[in-house]
Amino acid sequence: MAGWGQDEQPAPKAPAIRGEAAWELIRERLDNVIGFWVGFVFSPVPPELRTLRERIERHVTSENHVMVTFVPSTPEELLGLPTRMLEDRSLANATLIWIEALHAEAPGAPETPWTRAWEQTVIEIEALFEELRGVLLGGIVLAAPPGVVDPVSKAAPDLWQVKALSYLITPRNAASVRPSTPLPVRGSTRPSTSSMRAASVDPDDLVAISQSPERLKVWQAENSARTSSPSMPAASLAPATLATPSAPRAEVIRARALVDAAEGFLRQGRLQDAKDAADEAATLLRVRGDALDEARVFAVLAEIEAENEDLSRAAVHVQKALAMYGARMPGQVPPAWYCLAARIARERREHVAASRFEELALGAIRAMRQGDEGPDALFELSDALERIGDARLAAGKPADAAVAFSECLLLRRRVLVALGEVPEALGEVSYSLKRLADACVHASDVIGAVAAYREALVIDRKLYAQDRKNAEVRYQLADSLWRLGDALTSSGEAAEGAAMSEEATRLLAGAEPPSGTPARIYSPGSRRGQPPPRRELKSSPGRP
């Protein structure tokens, strides 16, 4: 086949069409074209493809012609088909040979046997093309999952150039609105890493400092050397040390100590103390203050109002915080402020805005973490991507959500490599796989969902084998079994799906629930994580 495709670039993707349109185009080719040809059909939903295949088979056999279907159950069986088509003379007179293997792997999976098998199969067909043309009197249709479009087009570019057809079958219900998917079961422990942050100053001590001129001078001197880089994790708020060029007045120094205290109280869940400190700081800054300090006060007030479900005021205050800080320090807005804005937008059901704020948070984290490849940084980035995926899913953009969840999964796989197969890191990868699968379900990508759920199930079985007495791990495994069972049933594998659900039921029969307050609700019909308890306005014993 020398000289194929020298003047053209291979098509990167198959055009997306509905099953009815694909049927008409393939039928027209079967009725009007005599001779050898090769085509590709891709679909994320096995039932859609099976319906198309069965319809084509009825049409071919009604004309007293022969259609041969191969549905290999292993990658090795798929790899042997090119040679079989060449050597098995009973296939020579077939009007159509249909090869269907709708298996896939999740992004970044350690093993990709089906993708590699498809790549090698098309390479073999490309190498044997002229010989197959001389033996076969009909066409070949290769039916595969969408995830192999790019791999096969790159593995066999000449074959891709001369293909007779290539279609991506879109499901009929791809645009329909689906109910929200319950959150998967997730372990509550994050792997410990070596990149620990320095402990913050006790907020009660900061309040005491703000009331003592001598201690305030010492505190200001110690903090004057601090830079704009936060010493706390990205979940914390901005530092108190972005000083103006001129020496600040005592009131401003005191206000900064109070803002630091307010942020500390927030981290401790002491909302009333945080509000008292923020209000006092705002009063001091109202006469002569710095815009950065005022922005921090607005951020504290926004979080308190969000906790108290005063979302309208919270939205106003967080917008002021973002605008004031961004105007003075472009590109250095604390990521947690964008996360707060996203949370407020999410609770206001403004999911598109929430997605935009989460993307801004990711950009801020990337800028802050530039060059940091440690587990802490990778987790922080992956958490941001997970939130973006959640926001996109809530906004009705499941395909975009799947992209974010895929990137999140790849980062958590890197953490797993760095830390080794510790249970906590394995649990994070399992959870990421299930969130990706959830997005695939909403995008009607059943094949992608099954692939991700299967890998999550393998991980959860491994975790359960290591600790059979852990109730959380047991429920996590049952959750994966139920989810995979649902996906398999949707893909037409009802028997295997029912077996998965039955195994989950047996696994939990007579099992003790997790101790303490349940982190999740477990059952075949409801696997949603309970929201965290809302923090109450409370003061410390030493404050009024």
The rounded mean pLDDT for the chain is 82
The tens digit of pLDDT for each residue in 273-300 reads 888 888 888 888 876 667 888 898 999 9
Lowest-pLDDT choice from 73-87, 126-140, 273-287, 330-344 = 273-287
CA 70 to CA 142: how far, in whole Å? 10
Whether residues 105 and 190 share a domain: the answer is: no
- Sequence-distant (6+) residues with CB within 8 A of 351 are 345, 391, 394, 395, 396
Lowest-pLDDT choice from 19-28, 219-228, 341-350, 381-390 = 219-228
Whether residues 42 and 97 share a domain: the answer is: yes
Whether residues 393 and 494 share a domain: the answer is: yes
CA 191 to CA 369: how far, in whole Å? 19
Residue 54: which domain range? 16-170
In a domain, 382, yes or no: no
Residue 158, pLDDT above cutoff 90: yes
Instruction: Judge whether 377 and 411 are in contact, CB under 8 Å.
Output: no
Domain termination site, one of 310, 345, 373: 373
Q: Which of 449, 389, 383 lies closest to 412, judged by CA?
A: 383
Whether residues 223 and 362 share a domain: the answer is: yes
**Torsion angle in degrees (nearest 10) through CA of 330, 331, 337, 341:** 90
What is the reported pTM?
0.79
In a domain, 88, yes or no: yes
The tens digit of pLDDT for each residue in 416-428 reads 999 999 998 999 9
Whether residues 354 and 412 share a domain: the answer is: no
In a domain, 378, yes or no: no
Residue 458, pLDDT above cutoff 50: yes
Cα–Cα distances (Å) from 53 to 22, 47, 70, 122, 159, in that order, read 11, 10, 11, 20, 22
Domain termination site, one of 326, 348, 373: 373
Residue found under tokens 């300090």: 293
* CATH number for position 109: 3.40.50.300
- Kindly state the tokens that stand for 347: 């609770």
Residue 118, pLDDT above cutoff 90: yes
Whether residues 261 and 240 share a domain: the answer is: yes
Lowest-pLDDT choice from 36-40, 137-141, 173-177, 516-520 = 516-520
Q: What 3-state DSSP class applies to 393?
A: helix
Instruction: Judge whether 56 and 85 are in contact, CB under 8 Å.
Output: no
Whether residues 208 and 112 share a domain: the answer is: no
In a domain, 5, yes or no: no
Domain count, the chain: 3
User: Which strand (E) or helix (H) includes residue 158?
Assistant: helix 157-162
Count CA within 13 A, CB hemisphere, residue 58: 6
CA 30 to CA 101: how far, in whole Å? 22
Q: Which is more confidently placed, 382 or 247?
A: 382
CA 274 to CA 334: how far, in whole Å? 19
Whether residues 506 and 530 share a domain: the answer is: yes
Whether residues 395 and 534 share a domain: the answer is: yes
Whether residues 74 and 156 share a domain: the answer is: yes
Whether residues 151 and 254 share a domain: the answer is: no
Buried/exposed code over 227-260 (b: 16+ C-beta within 10 A; e: otherwise): eeebebebebbbbbbbbeeeebeebbbbbbbbbb
Mean pLDDT across 207-220: 72
Confidence of residue 452 (pLDDT cuts 50, 70, 90): very high
Whether residues 136 and 221 share a domain: the answer is: no
In a domain, 221, yes or no: yes
* CATH number for position 250: 1.25.40.10
For 62-95, the DSSP string reads HTT--EEEE--SSHHHHHTHHHHHHH-GGGTT-S
In a domain, 273, yes or no: yes
